[in-house]
Amino acid sequence: MTAFAAGSADKGKEVFDQCSVCHNADSAEQKIGPGLKGLFKHDKLANGKPVNEANVRVKIDEGGNGMPAYKEILSNQEKDDVVAYLKTL
């Protein structure tokens, strides 16, 4: 398991603005993509993998199922920040 640098949830909220086009942060209701409220309280991601920082990070990097890949779009720090923010939902 890879250890990630601690992210800033406040900065992650700002980065998440571009995610909010497709994802709700304040509910689990489907928008274009799944709602992300309580994401880290779920057992599994939509792809069936366990919810943990590494698997969420892979989903951000690789996208899939209609979601674009953000590997080359977001910096590693921005991804750390988004993961920190998602943990607060």
Q: Given the structure tokens 């309580």, which residue do they identify? A: 38
Residue 5's pLDDT is what?
Answer: 57
Residue 4's pLDDT is what?
Answer: 52
Q: Write out the chain's pLDDT in tens, 89 residues.
A: 444 558 999 999 999 999 999 999 999 999 999 999 999 999 999 889 999 999 999 999 999 989 999 999 999 999 999 999 999 99
Three-class SS state of 81: helix
Cα separation, 13 vs 15, in Å, equals 6
Residue 6's pLDDT is what?
Answer: 81
Could you tell me which of 54, 23, 53, 52 has the C-alpha nearest to residue 36? 23
> Would you kindly state where each structural domain of the chain is located, as residue ranges?
9-86
So what's the architecture of 9-86 in CATH?
Orthogonal Bundle (1.10)
CA torsion 48-64-22-53 (nearest 10°) is 50
Token couple for 46: 């939509």
DSSP strands (E only) in the chain: none
| Amino acid at site 31 | K
Residue 2's pLDDT is what?
Answer: 46
Residue 46's pLDDT is what?
Answer: 87
